[in-house]
Amino acid sequence: MIGMERLIVDHPLAAARLTTMRDETTDNAGFRAALSDLTQMLVYEALAGAPKADVQIKTPLTPFTGSRLAKPPLLVPVLRAGLGMVEQAHAMVPEAQVGFVGIARDERTAQPVPYLESLPDDLSGHPVFVLDPMLATGGSMLHTMELLVARNATDITAVCVVAAPQGVEALERSGHPCRLVVAAIDEGLDEANYIVPGLGDAGDRQFGPR
């Protein structure tokens, strides 16, 4: 197996937000708020080693060499569930561009059904953050990565809330140039490919059932 870099964001505040999201008594608004807070922490950690570029500014007192992100990542929420992550990720990196991928899940086969692709043509040299709270079988994430790699992306970060070991393994085996930033890796999948213990359907928990 190819070693994929993975960062598990193990912080008491991340754990508290994730617990709120897991709790079946949390309503849609509470779930969205916790996801937004947690996204802030995940993006913060995901950018910890990002290269910086010097910028010359003046403080009110003196010239100063400060810094900005050298290469802001393209943010790619995977619709529907990734929508709840993009606003906060964009607030953290306001200069980022945003692309969109829409993938539904066939509830019978659990296979990804793509319905939207809105991405820049050439991603050479651009880091990309794929935002999707749930990495279950990995089907949607792998489909998204294939779209990105076909556009020459070589630096892809999957930013997720909960992953199943099967999804992590699928990413590892894909050989795509990717890393994973996640708040928790859970026990596994149930017979309908929901993550266990998980938090249910992340789209329904944010927006209500379809």
Q: Can you tell me the distance from the alpha carbon of 9 to that of 181, in angstroms, rounded to the nearest whole number?
A: 7
Number of alpha carbons in the 13 Å side-chain half-sphere of residue 84: 27
Nearer to ligand URA (CB atom), residue 130 or residue 202: 202
For this structure, is 105 an active site residue? yes
Q: Are 173 and 204 in contact (CB under 8 A)?
A: no
- Torsion over CA: 76, 79, 84, 87 (sign): positive
Among 7, 104, 201, 207, binds ligand URA (CB under 6 A): 201
- Count of residues touching ligand URA (by CB under 6 A): 9
Q: Are 73 and 93 in contact (CB under 8 A)?
A: yes
Q: State whether residue 91 is helix, strand or coil.
A: helix
Q: Retrieve residue 77's tokens.
A: 């929420």
- Which residues, in sequence order, are bridge partners of residue 30? none
Per-residue contact flags (x/-) with ligand URA for residues 62 to 91, judged by CB under 6 A? -------------------x----------
Tokens 């509830």 belong to which residue? Answer: 107
Nearer to ligand URA (CB atom), residue 64 or residue 115: 115
Window 148-167: residues binding ligand URA (CB under 6 A): none
Minimum distance, C-beta of residue 205 to ligand URA, in the bound complex (Å):
8
Establish if 131 lies at the interface with ligand URA (CB under 6 A).
no
DSSP-assigned states of every residue in 36-57: HHHHHHHHHHHTTT--EEEEEE
Exactly one of 19, 68, 109, 190 is catalytic; which is it?
A: 109
For this structure, is 190 an active site residue? no
Per-residue contact flags (x/-) with ligand URA for residues 181 to 200, judged by CB under 6 A? -------------xx--x--
For this structure, is 17 an active site residue? no
Question: Which positions lie near ligand URA, rule CB under 6 A?
Answer: 81, 134, 136, 194-195, 198, 201-203
Active site residues: 105, 109, 201, 204
